Amino acid sequence: MAIDPEDRMIKPSGRLFTKNSDIPADPVSLIEDTVEDGELTVRALMVGEEMIFVEAFKGKGMIDPTHQHDDHESIGYLLRGKMRVVIGEEEFIAEAGDVWLHPRGVPHMSEALEDSIQLEIKSPPRKTWYTDAELAERAKRQPAN
């Protein structure tokens, strides 16, 4: 199930400050057109006019299959844990404090080698994921075959 272009647009938060604990961690099943393999939760911590700041928890063994974003670029920062990150043809082992760039239109994937917390900035702001609840709601609206 592809993400509807209308669903990708995300409105600014309309606030200048947010407590992490006030934003729910939503379980995610789908990023772009790829089904996630393992435990993944996302918090959209802050959305501005030009960027979005996201926190993602990735359980050990979680694989974010190869996908690409054609309408934005992302910068990732590993706050905690250890991940294998593949961007284009290059592979990296990221540890806490490491940073990487997903250029627009470049295939990338990751694997959580340990429980990990990744921070990500996307510009322009795009919502590239569906939560479990959003997928269930979309399934209800889909015509039966």
Q: What is the dihedral of CA 136, 76, 43, 72, to 10 degrees?
A: -60
pLDDT in tens, 72-95: 999 999 999 999 999 999 999 999
Q: What pLDDT, on a 0 to 100 scale, did the predictor assign at position 108? A: 96
Count: domains in the chain: 1
Task: Please say if the pLDDT value at position 68 is more than 60.
Answer: yes
- CATH, residue 117: 2.60.120.10
Mean pLDDT within 126-145: 76
CA distance 72 to 99: 17
> What pTM was estimated for this model as a whole?
0.86
Nearest-CA neighbor of 54 among 13, 6, 84? 13
Cβ proximity of 21 and 35 under 8 Å: no
Q: 1-9 contacts: CB < 8 A, separation 24 or more?
A: 1/30, 1/33, 1/130, 1/135, 1/138, 2/32, 2/33, 3/30, 3/32, 3/33, 3/127, 3/128, 3/129, 3/130, 7/127, 7/130, 7/134, 8/71, 8/126, 8/127, 8/128, 9/126, 9/127
Domain encompassing residue 33: 5-11+19-141
